[in-house]
Amino acid sequence: MNNREGTPRSLTARVRRLVVIAAIGGLAGCAVGPDFSRPAPPSVARYTARPVPSVIPGVAGEPTQQFHAGRALSRRWWRLFGSPQLDEVIGRAIADSRTLASARATLAQSQEIVAAARGAYFPHLELSGTAQRNRSAAGNASFGFGGISPISNLYSVGADVSFSPDVFGLTRRTVEEQGALAQFQRYELAAAYLALTGNTAAEAITMASLRAQIEATEALIADDERNLSLVEQAFEAGKVARTDVLTAQTQLAADRTAIPPLRQQLSTARHALSVLAGQAPALWSPPDFQLAQFTLPSDLPVTIPSRLVRQRPDILAAEAQLHAASAAIGVATAQLYPTLTLSGSLGQQSLQWASFLNTANRFWNLTAGLTAPIFEGGTLEAQRRAAIDAYHASLATYEQTVLASFQQVADNLRALAHDAQLLGAERQAYDTAAAALTLQRESYAAGKSTVLNLIDAERSYQQARLGYVRAQAQRLQDSASLFVALGGGWWQAKL
């Protein structure tokens, strides 16, 4: 319908009524497709078939650990290790990590995509203006119409408004899908934060362990050198054979080969920690961590399985993808239904600029359009079936993520119990080897034992010392791994 005589007030009222009616129609419409419902928490009450003891016993002189089911996990769980140096490095990593910066930017991008999708809820208004100059062949004097000007002007200014009521929920499902994908990016940021803090703590403990192993190996080499000197003296005195000298030399050479790999591992851990902290290895080096600087956490909070699925970022990310897949079914379903479009325009149009503002030169129109798919060659139905298949795939992925997370927690709970047993055995071996070495040294000094017996005793002692160091470090590593497996308290942090 077109009219050049309507007043601005009456036209504005018509447009307003049209928009209100369309909005009411959109609100009254239903969103087709399934409504997403979060998967129910698992019914299991524990992570392992056999209950894990609440208290992990330790040997004399070693700390014990105790599990506390249901206790909240601190967001700064690394402080439980009592290392100010670790606190400083993790703080630097959180502040300067490029991985976190990338994840934050990706999250911001996804949130803007949601905002863009919400724009479809509202009418779209555009302003246009044209100034056109034409020359008509009919106005040429050679055709006998010299009284008519061959040049004409056309001036036009107007506003166009269009609106598509969300009758069947296409816009709502699209916004829902994009919102779920934005949630996925939020949980990806949380997962990156958790991985960053966990890896930083792991590398710091690795550095401390490697330093202790290097110190133990260097002490072993020093013993080898001293023993070689003793054997050479005994050989010169005719008390031992040449083979004893060769045995001592072989042992020294073999033990020296252990140092370069340990130093390389230490360099690798140092460089990895620099990168985790957002620094180039050439410009910044982490502190020289020592095992003695770490305190084994004695109280270990353990989240129950039904709450773990609401806290681990990888599970929540899988759930967000499942939500997006559910909304995608709604989008594909809504595309099977008609689309209603309402549009209108208002403007001024004139051949003469002087009379441009006259009410007689005003124009307006209102249009309602309906588009409905009739035959698409099966495309739309196939797209809907594909969306349903994608949902089932996402559901299976979610369930597998939950299972894997439970396995990770179960592994760490059992590992800590086994670590305590291993540490007890290594501590006993270390104490026994130390006592045997003391006796051998006394026996050798009294001339009641050979130098080879002394060498064997010193080697047993140093090997037991290495095993003890590794067991201490492993207990620290598995404690940190448990905190990460339980979600690391990221939900309390400002990401």
Question: What residues contact 262, with CB distance under 8 A and at least 6 apart?
Answer: 210, 213, 214, 217
| pLDDT over 90 percentage in the chain | 61
Residue 414 has pLDDT above 90, yes or no: yes
pLDDT band per the 50, 70, 90 thresholds, residue 8: very low
Q: Over range 27-35, report the average pLDDT.
A: 76
* The token pair that represents 389 in the structure block: 């298949």
Considering only residues 61 and 181, tell me which one the structure prediction assigns the higher pLDDT.
Answer: 181
What is the reported pLDDT for 415? 95
Mean of all residue pLDDT scores within the chain: 88
Model pTM? Answer: 0.85
Q: What is the CA radius of gyration of the chain?
A: 39
Give the alpha-carbon dihedral of 170, 175, 177, 180, to 10 degrees: -160
Q: Over range 138-147, report the average pLDDT.
A: 49
Strand-pair category, 362-371 with 2-3: antiparallel
What is the reported pLDDT for 446? 81
The highest-confidence range among 63-72, 261-270, 340-349, 353-362, by mean pLDDT, is 261-270
pLDDT band per the 50, 70, 90 thresholds, residue 118: very high
Neighbour tally for 458: CB within 10 Å = 23
What is the reported pLDDT for 26? 47
Q: Over range 263-284, report the average pLDDT.
A: 96
User: Which amino acid type is present at position 229?
Assistant: S
* Phi, psi angle pair for 157, to nearest 5°: -140, 130
Neighbour tally for 288: CB within 10 Å = 12
What is the reported pLDDT for 16? 52
Distance CA 418, CA 337 (A): 61
Give pLDDT tens digits for 74-87: 889 999 999 999 99
Residue 19 has pLDDT above 60, yes or no: no
Residue 276's alpha-carbon distances to 82, 280, 346, 492, in angstroms, are 20, 10, 60, 21
Distance CA 331, CA 172 (A): 9
Residue with tokens 């086994």: 418
Residue 187 has pLDDT above 90, yes or no: yes
* DSSP one-letter code for 97: -
Q: Over range 336-363, report the average pLDDT.
A: 81
Cα dihedral across residues 201, 207, 211, 214: positive or negative: positive
Residue 127 has pLDDT above 80, yes or no: yes
What is the reported pLDDT for 22? 47
Q: Over range 449-459, report the average pLDDT.
A: 84
According to the CATH classification, is domain 35-123+167-338+387-492 in 3.40.50.150?
no
- Residue-range domain boundaries for the chain: 35-123+167-338+387-492
Nearest to 327 by CA among 132, 114, 173, 495: 173
Indicate the SS3 state at residue 147: coil
